[in-house]
Amino acid sequence: MSKNIFKGSVVLNPVPVVMVTSRNNEGKDNVFTVAWTGTVCTKPPMLSISIRPERLSYEYIKESMEFTINLPTRRLTRETDFCGVRSGRVVDKISEMKFTMKEGKEVSSPYIDECPVNIECKVKSIIPLGTHDLFLAEVLCSHIDEKLIDENGKIHFEWANLITYSHGEYFPVPKTAIGSFGYSVAKQATIERKKAIAKTNSTTKKKKDKIKEKQEGKLRYAYRVRIFLRKTRRN
């Protein structure tokens, strides 16, 4: 394999892309996009985000020492990009993108209801690095869309249609796994059992989606009938 040498630069790609919401001490909310984020500890559960000091959200989060990470779906790619290239000093991005905001459970910062996963965080320390400051935060709680949880309580992030960021572009997260933790040393019987469970979960999700579609269809039909009857009575 022939390789080129590049001077010191961050070429770790792809990375998660998230929208971070925050609220300052005056009660003003803002959202911006972060790609420099990751898990840093299991117990206590902690993650980090890196922010340029000139960003408006830097001021908000430094004031409150709280923020919420929102994982966007493929349908929210445009909104995610907009929140990354527009400043909250100039435009109200939450209003412009028509996000549905919900109050946090453990922190003052709200979360975006359209995002299937929301992670409430409390800042523990801020480390100046250079162009960015690193915010180390403890995860206080998470909001997970119930449609991503199977009968056994397992969270299926692959069902959420999440996106990643790689060298200036957005990409969808694959839905099909190519392996699982420990599969390289697992017995064949264990591998087959996991495959069978995964297949069952996929089938169950499809059935649930079909049932939901039928229910929503019936509701839409009933609504149209009510509107028609009202118009008929008026005439």
Domain with 94 in it: what CATH number?
2.30.110.10
Give the pLDDT confidence score for residue 224 in this predicted structure: 73
User: Quick check: is 133 in a domain?
Assistant: yes
Residue where a domain terminates, one of 172, 198, 227? 172
Residue range(s) defining the domain that contains residue 132: 15-172
217/164: higher pLDDT: 164
Find the range with the poorest average confidence among 39-43, 77-81, 186-190, 199-203.
Answer: 199-203
Nearest C-alpha neighbor of 67 from the set 113, 19, 114, 101: 19
Same domain, 60 and 166: yes
Q: Are 162 and 173 in contact (CB under 8 A)?
A: yes
Is the dihedral angle over the CA atoms 13, 83, 135, 68 positive or is it negative? negative
Find the range with the poorest average confidence among 81-85, 122-126, 189-193.
Answer: 189-193
Same domain, 30 and 144: yes
Give the pLDDT confidence score for residue 177 in this predicted structure: 86
Same domain, 102 and 198: no
Query: What phi, psi does 89 have (nearest 5°)?
Result: -75, -25
At 187, the pLDDT band (50, 70, 90 cuts) reads: confident
Give the pLDDT confidence score for residue 182 in this predicted structure: 84
Same domain, 132 and 206: no
Same domain, 21 and 73: yes
Same domain, 21 and 137: yes
User: Quick check: is 138 in a domain?
Assistant: yes
Residue where a domain terminates, one of 172, 203, 225? 172
User: Quick check: is 42 in a domain?
Assistant: yes
Same domain, 109 and 199: no
Q: Are 73 and 18 in contact (CB under 8 A)?
A: no
Residue 216, pLDDT > 90, answer no
Same domain, 20 and 113: yes
Give the pLDDT confidence score for residue 194 in this predicted structure: 64
**Residue that is written with structure tokens 């004031």 in the block:** 63
Same domain, 168 and 184: no
User: Quick check: is 3 in a domain?
Assistant: no
Query: What phi, psi does 158 have (nearest 5°)?
Result: -65, -15
Q: pLDDT for 222-233, tens place per residue?
A: 777 677 677 777
Number of domains observed in the structure of the chain: 2
User: Quick check: is 111 in a domain?
Assistant: yes
3-state secondary structure of 209: helix
Same domain, 141 and 50: yes
Residue where a domain terminates, one of 151, 172, 193? 172
User: Quick check: is 1 in a domain?
Assistant: no
Does the model's pTM come out above 0.85?
no
User: Quick check: is 2 in a domain?
Assistant: no
User: Quick check: is 10 in a domain?
Assistant: no
- For 26, how many CA atoms within 13 A lie in the half-sphere containing its CB? 4
Average pLDDT over residues 131-160: 96
Same domain, 122 and 208: no
Q: What share of the chain is helix, strand, coil (3-state, %, to 5)?
A: 35, 30, 35
Give the pLDDT confidence score for residue 228 in this predicted structure: 66
Same domain, 101 and 216: no
Name residue 15's beta-bridge partners: 165
Average pLDDT over residues 112-140: 98
